[in-house]
Amino acid sequence: MIDLADALALIEQRAEPLPPRRQRLLDACGRTLAVPVVADVDSPPWDRAMMDGFALRGDDVAGGGGVVELDVVVDLAAGDVTSLEIRSGSCARIMTGAPIPRGADAIIPVELAIDGTSAAHAGMKVRLRDERFRAGQHIARQGAAFRRGETVLTAGTPLTAGAVGLAAEAGATHVVATPQVCVAILSTGSELVPPEAVPNFGQTRNSNGPMIAAAVRLLAAEPISLGIAADKPEAIRAAVAQGLAADVLVLSGGVSAGDLDLVPEIFRQCGVEKVFHKVRLKPGKPVYFGVLRRDHVAPTLVFGLPGNPASSLVCFDLFTRPAIQMLAGLPRDDWHLPRSRARLTAATKAAPGRPVYLPCTLVRSADGLTATPLPWTGSSDLVGLATANGMIALAADGGRYEPGDEVEVVMTRGPVTNAPAPGR
């Protein structure tokens, strides 16, 4: 049995980022750019109207709150172009997003048209107040945001929605980015039935399968569900062999020390090198980690999680999540769930010999972060975890903690803001 920190170090030593791949822009969202994106156009591509109004020559405007009367010579909606030049005394009626015609160098917004001339079109006169006029106003200049040939996104940039938008504008239909990590998920246990079945006496619904798939999907990785394998060596071996084609295999059940806990031996037979089995942790003690190495292929990381659903999820969060983030090439700060200190609102008890992870509700108030333990009947109970936004991490001191005591917490749904967690 090893300590959590040692177990994490052993995973870190074996989780190499997967090589970047060329992928369609949208498929790469949530991943990290590996090759810079260089623009194939200027942005804006031409001088662009930023207001609905009248494009004119700044020289025609005296300034100081006077009125300027101009001939409208052309109407320009977004998408319209003209070869007409705007000369002194004339203007174009222009809509936001249209290119500025030659000769014009400012826009007076339509709201400043007076004497009922705001609807003036080509062939009519418009009268405009020149209130607060600035040379060049309401025009976005060609190349003001970026230039053709310029790097608009550097390697290492996370492909957020905004980054995908910018890449699209710069003409990148494909990008080279860290790949999606493929995670095979296998539930073992002869008692298990799929969620759509009504369990008979002695049967248990497979909640781990969908739960782990959901956790994988929330990391922008790709879950590959292998369903259920009964506690028979041939059944588990066949499914494991299939799962070992993925970047990560997450199996649940059959890793403790019972008669039907066949999994560690089957992993061995399939060529998986055991790295650790059993960690000083509650829940989650039986967790297994190993690696399958082959020539010319990235290794497959193999996790055997305990079958009890709460233990499974805690182990996924603590061990499998960082491994997936490492393979995805994410920066170290994104590997682990964030931790913090919080004050307990209710008493709770640590265990001797093993650190305890308990589901809790974290709330940030003026006095700082508070942690309220959720009712929890044990490692098969998902009710608390389902609504939790954190876990209380108690040291292995067997001590009793009182309301107001400061404890370490893990934020399972990201940084906690002022609002109480939804669902409570």
Give the footprint of ligand AMP on this chain (CB under 6 A): 187, 189, 191-192, 204, 206-209, 252-254, 256, 258, 306-309, 380
Torsion sign (Cα): 263, 269, 272, 276: positive
Nearest to 44 by CA among 142, 138, 170: 142
Phi, psi of 110 (to 5 degrees): -60, -30
Instruction: Select from Mg ion, ligand AMP, none the partner in contact with residue 204, using the beta carbon and a kind-dependent cut-off of 5 to 8 Å.
Output: ligand AMP
Nearest CB to ligand AMP, comparing residues 99 and 309: 309
Residues 6+ apart with CB under 8 A from 416: 340, 362, 363, 364, 369, 389, 390
CB of 233 to ligand AMP, least distance (A): 15
CB of 361 to ligand AMP, least distance (A): 24
CB of 263 to ligand AMP, least distance (A): 8
Nearest CB to ligand AMP, comparing residues 194 and 403: 194
Residue 264 engages Mg ion in binding (rule: CB under 5 A): no
Could you give the 3-state DSSP secondary structure of residue 326?
helix
Instruction: Select from ligand AMP, Mg ion, none the partner in contact with residue 370, using the beta carbon and a kind-dependent cut-off of 5 to 8 Å.
Output: none
Applying CB under 5 A, the span of 5-13, 303-311, 335-343, 384-392 interacting with Mg ion comes to 303-311
Number of C-alpha atoms within 13 angstroms, CB side, residue 79? 0
Cα dist from 238 to 164, 186, 232, 270, 320, whole Å: 40, 11, 10, 10, 22
CB of 229 to ligand AMP, least distance (A): 10
CB of 162 to ligand AMP, least distance (A): 38
CB of 51 to ligand AMP, least distance (A): 60
CB of 207 to ligand AMP, least distance (A): 4
Instruction: Select from ligand AMP, Mg ion, none the partner in contact with residue 101, using the beta carbon and a kind-dependent cut-off of 5 to 8 Å.
Output: none
Could you give the 3-state DSSP secondary structure of residue 75?
strand
The amino acid at residue 188 is T
Residues 6+ apart with CB under 8 A from 339: 393, 408, 409, 410, 411
Nearest CB to Mg ion, comparing residues 189 and 290: 189
Tokens 């993925």 identify what position? 246
Nearest CB to ligand AMP, comparing residues 191 and 405: 191
Phi, psi of 370 (to 5 degrees): -120, 150
Instruction: Select from ligand AMP, Mg ion, none the partner in contact with residue 118, using the beta carbon and a kind-dependent cut-off of 5 to 8 Å.
Output: none
CB of 201 to ligand AMP, least distance (A): 13
The amino acid at residue 35 is V
Q: How many residues bind Mg ion (CB under 5 A)?
A: 4
Residue 189 engages Mg ion in binding (rule: CB under 5 A): yes
Torsion sign (Cα): 337, 343, 344, 348: positive
Nearest CB to ligand AMP, comparing residues 164 and 255: 255
Nearest CB to Mg ion, comparing residues 191 and 405: 191
Instruction: Select from ligand AMP, Mg ion, none the partner in contact with residue 309, using the beta carbon and a kind-dependent cut-off of 5 to 8 Å.
Output: ligand AMP
Tokens 């999606």 identify what position? 180
CA 70, CA 32: separation in Å to the nearest integer? 53
Nearest CB to ligand AMP, comparing residues 171 and 258: 258
Q: State the residues that interact with Mg ion by CB under 5 A.
A: 189, 253-254, 307
